[in-house]
């Protein structure tokens, strides 16, 4: 049964609920947290009882500390309740007996702000609760104190997404950024959010101007001017690149709020921003899809790629990502691949662009260039131009001056 423990009378105190199937453990934790300054345990209950889960989330608490127990299974009752309340200001801290990669990814995917070991010291758990509470207080998807730009001044943001690697998503992201740069005749930002193994910087031959790890500490006050100091210009294309961290472990510290801060700052500084994501199903990937104005779901020419797209669409629904802003890009397409019209009917999404196999893609990557700089009229360049035209409407590419442009013979 859910039990009331104390009244959160201090206005600045974080209101915490503790959920665990182990009555002794949750009672002991509530007692240990009771003396902690600026923190009040107001509820505790059984994490395996749906009614206790619902009561905790509906009680107006700031943070739920949930004990996964020895099995480490994330109960569907909590997952479903959490999805319904994602728009609120409640954060989730998961405590697990054994932390492994699968459990960590599941917890983070379902919205956990922090995941800590059951044997953690009280100071570590308390700090996790404070971090989660601060994120919840900021709305979970935005950083407190960061002003939004007026709607008329906010640039377009588009995220490229795929749960299957090897479909050419990064190549298409680079080419789309270059196409938008030409079409808008203005600098465009490209953020590499494939944090564990980002390839944009490598593909364009760039080294980060400043490490992304430093940016995380500035997220609360990040603006367009500050963001620009972290961008590395690609001279040939005119695209400004936020490179992925060179140390993959930095990815563990990137939260939804960090991605939201990057997107908001970029919107205020650039007319368009392209977000490249990973296929690892991480928090940054779903944050990018949630924050973007449009999402391009990239598919390869095989059935497993279509199955991965179906899974992505299902996850979009669970994370309240409107499918109305999602379109398909079919890359490396072959005549013997699935029929695009069948895909549209099966997946319920329109095909925004299609590109066949482009031999220039490897050459371009080896030269550190967008594909259009090697094969301007090739399949990838043409697909990116179609996407850019769809995204920015009436804008037209800035004319390139050829050797004989303007002369008639």
What's the rounded Cα separation, in Å, for the pair 154 and 353? 25
Count CB-CB contacts under 10 A for residue 262.
Answer: 30
**Residue 233 forms beta bridges with which residues?**
240
pLDDT at 109: 58
pLDDT at 362: 87
User: Do you know the residue count of the chain?
Assistant: 409
Residues of the chain short of pLDDT 70, as ranges, are 1-12, 58-59, 69-89, 98-111, 135-153, 393-409
pLDDT at 386: 92
The verdict on pTM exceeding 0.75 is: no
Domains delineated in the chain: 3-137 (3.40.50.2300), 151-392 (3.40.50.300)
pLDDT at 70: 58
* E strand map for 70-183: 91-96, 114-117, 156-161
| CA-CA-CA-CA dihedral for 386, 388, 392, 395, to nearest 10 | -80
pLDDT at 176: 96
The number of CA neighbours under 13 Å toward the Cβ of 255 is: 22
* Both structure tokens of 96: 């697990």
pLDDT at 16: 87
pLDDT at 142: 31
pLDDT at 78: 53
pLDDT at 359: 82
| CA-CA-CA-CA dihedral for 166, 172, 175, 179, to nearest 10 | 180
């Amino acid at each position: 049964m859910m039990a009331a423990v104390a009244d959160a009378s201090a206005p600045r105190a974080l209101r915490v609920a503790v959920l665990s199937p182990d009555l002794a453990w949750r009672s002991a934790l509530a007692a240990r947290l009771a003396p902690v300054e600026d923190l009040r345990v107001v509820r505790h209950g059984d994490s395996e009882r749906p009614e206790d889960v619902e009561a905790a989330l509906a009680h107006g608490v700031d943070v739920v500390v949930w004990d996964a127990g020895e099995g480490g299974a994330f109960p569907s009752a909590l997952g479903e309740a959490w999805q319904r309340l994602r728009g609120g200001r409640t954060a989730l801290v998961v405590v697990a007996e054994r932390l492994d990669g699968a459990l960590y990814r599941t917890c983070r995917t379902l919205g956990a702000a922090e995941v800590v070991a059951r044997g953690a010291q009280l100071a570590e758990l308390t700090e996790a609760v404070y971090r989660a509470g601060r994120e919840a207080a900021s709305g979970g998807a935005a950083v407190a104190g960061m002003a939004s730009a007026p709607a008329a001044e906010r640039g377009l943001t588009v995220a490229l997404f795929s749960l299957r690697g090897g479909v050419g998503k990064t190549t298409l992201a680079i080419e789309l950024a270059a196409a938008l740069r030409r079409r808008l005749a203005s600098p465009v930002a490209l953020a590499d959010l494939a944090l564990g193994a980002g390839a944009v910087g490598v593909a364009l031959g760039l080294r980060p101007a400043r490490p992304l790890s430093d940016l995380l500490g500035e997220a609360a006050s990040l603006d367009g001017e500050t963001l620009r100091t972290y961008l590395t210009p690609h001279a040939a294309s005119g695209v400004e690149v936020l490179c992925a961290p060179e140390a993959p472990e930095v990815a563990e510290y990137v939260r939804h709020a960090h991605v939201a801060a990057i997107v908001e700052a970029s919107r205020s500084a650039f007319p368009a921003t392209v977000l490249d994501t990973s296929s690892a199903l991480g928090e940054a990937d779903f944050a990018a899809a949630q924050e973007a104005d449009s999402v391009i779901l990239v598919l390869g020419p095989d059935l497993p790629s279509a199955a991965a797209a179906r899974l992505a669409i299902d996850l979009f629904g669970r994370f309240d990502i409107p499918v109305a802003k999602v379109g398909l890009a079919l890359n490396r397409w072959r005549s013997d691949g699935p029929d695009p019209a069948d895909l549209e009917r099966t997946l319920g999404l329109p095909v925004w662009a299609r590109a066949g196999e482009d031999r220039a893609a490897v050459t371009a990557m080896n030269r550190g260039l967008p594909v259009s700089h090697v094969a301007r009229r090739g399949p990838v360049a043409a697909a990116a131009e179609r996407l850019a035209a769809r995204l920015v409407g009436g804008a037209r590419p800035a004319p390139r001056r050829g050797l004989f442009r303007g002369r008639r013979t």
